[in-house]
Amino acid sequence: MSPSPAPLRVAVVGAGAMGSDHVSRITRRISGAEVTAVVDPDSARATAATALAPGSQTYSSFEEALDATPIDAVIIATPGFLHEPVILPALERGLAILSEKPLSDTVESSLRIIEAEQRLDRPHIQVGFMRRFDRGYLELRELVEKGENGALLALHCAHRNPSTPPNYSESALITDSVIHEIDIVPFLAGEPIVSVEVKKPRRNSLAPEGLVEPQFVLFETLSGTLAIVEISVNIQFGYQVTTEAVFESGVASIGRAETIQVASAGTLGQGVTPSYKERFGAAYDTEIQRWVDAAARGAIDGPSAWDGYLASVVADAGVLAQSTGEKVAVEYALEKPAFYEAGASLTSTGA
Ligand SMILES: NC(=O)C1=CN([C@@H]2O[C@H](COP(=O)(O)OP(=O)(O)OC[C@H]3O[C@@H](n4cnc5c(N)ncnc54)[C@H](O)[C@@H]3O)[C@@H](O)[C@H]2O)C=CC1
Ligand SMILES: O=C1[C@@H](O)[C@H](O)[C@@H](O)[C@H](O)[C@H]1O
């Protein structure tokens, strides 16, 4: 029997909500990888996360970790505007990279990242659009592809968070939250988003002062499928992400039955997941396992930096639509480079 390959040595950069969740995931549920470095300038957070991964060390910067210990791969879980300063040195060293969504906070930064990546021999960056690994979304996409119910006409999407973290701004509704629908709508429809419009109903008085939400974001795809997204981020009751798809001869819905339904004492009840960690727990596990397995063979297996770039272009248009109230056309300045075509089983969105 040949010996099993050495585990992938992973640095997790950013040990907040998502980073510490990934540390725990890799340690407990993922095979073929181990967390060897946790990077966070907040030493209490770094220390708490290393406690989840026996043998890992804390570092206050990515550079310090790179100098101190061998690293094969990096998970980037800092706020979006801090992804590029980690991605660029990681690319220079040829590391496998899992960047949490968004790829970066601006189109310009996303462009710099894809330019730098294309200097390498193949894609190294996978973006954390985990919905592409969620069973419900995958089944819905299969239904669209089979075409048995006719063409996909429309998507009703609800994206509901119980509350917002500090410093959550109006543009974050698009760049931090709806960015998931910006990725998943083309994934389901098989074609790119071409316009975006934002409408604002009566404001939720439970939202922090100055935050105007909920909002309704209307996307149109190339052949005219409409996706309407309700984004509510202080809805209190729990975390809920649902989609109803309207076909020519049928409807399909996902996301309403993540927990057991109980009929008792004259009521029919069902729990609601408290956060994204429970709602998408299985999807994150699959995403990270497939990223690790792909890294071992020198590949990615999921949304690429190109998908991250496309999402940043749509998000930009969405933020403009928030302020103008007008329909904004999405202009993609680049054609998809051949570099991003090869071996990308989950990356094709037709753009
Ligand atoms: N895929 C998903 O469903 C989710 C993805 N995310 C994404 O994960 C990323 C992190 O978000 P959260 O964990 O919610 O944020 P967070 O605020 O909880 O954690 C961010 C951490 O980064 C650390 N940090 C700041 N500067 C740093 C630096 N230079 N080097 C290393 N660490 C640094 C902070 O001290 C903090 O501990 C974001 O990109 C976010 O969009 C977040 C939640 C869910
Ligand atoms: O990515 C996530 C958060 O950053 C974002 O703030 C939430 O709105 C999303 O539901 C969650 O999946």
What is the pLDDT, as a whole number, of residue 209?
A: 96
Centre of ligand 1 to C-alpha 261, Å, is: 33
Centre of ligand 2 to C-alpha 147, Å, is: 31
| Residues in contact with ligand 1 (CB, 6 Å cut-off) | 13-19, 39-42, 45, 77-80, 82, 100-101, 128, 130, 176, 276, 280
Cβ(168) to ligand 2 under 6 A? no
> Whose alpha carbon is nearest atom 9 of ligand 1?
77
Q: Where are the domains of the chain?
A: 8-131+283-310+334-340, 146-279
Cβ(176) to ligand 2 under 6 A? yes
Three-state SS string over 298-347 comes to: CCCCCCEHHHHHHHHHHHHHHHHHHHHCCCEECCCCCCCCHHHCCCCCCC
What would the CATH number be for the domain defined by 8-131+283-310+334-340? 3.40.50.720
What is the pLDDT, as a whole number, of residue 350?
A: 36
Q: Which ligand is nearest to the CA of 11?
A: 1
Q: What is the pTM of this model?
A: 0.96
Q: Which atom of ligand 2 lies at the shortest distance from residue 100's CA?
A: 1
pLDDT in tens, 309-325: 999 999 999 999 999 99
pLDDT in tens, 20-76: 999 999 999 999 999 999 999 999 999 999 999 999 999 999 999 999 999 999 999
Contact at 8 Å (CB) between 180 and 157? no
Q: What tokens appear for 236 in the block?
A: 């209190």
> What are the b/e assignments for 12-36, b being 16+ CB within 10 Å?
bbbbeebbbbbbbbbbeebeebbbb
pLDDT in tens, 229-278: 999 999 999 999 999 999 999 999 999 877 788 898 999 889 999 999 99
pLDDT in tens, 62-113: 999 999 999 999 999 999 999 999 999 999 999 999 999 999 999 999 999 9
What is the pLDDT, as a whole number, of residue 3?
A: 67
What would the CATH number be for the domain defined by 146-279? 3.30.360.10
Asked whether the ipTM of the predicted complex exceeds the cut of 0.85, the reply is: yes
> Whose alpha carbon is nearest atom 35 of ligand 1?
42
What is the pLDDT, as a whole number, of residue 351?
A: 36
> What is d(CA 184, CA 349) in angstroms, rounded to the nearest whole number?
9
> Whose alpha carbon is nearest atom 7 of ligand 2?
177
Cβ(161) to ligand 2 under 6 A? yes
pLDDT in tens, 163-183: 999 999 999 999 999 999 999
What is the pLDDT, as a whole number, of residue 348?
A: 41
Residues 6+ apart with CB under 8 A from 317: 195, 196, 328, 329, 330, 331
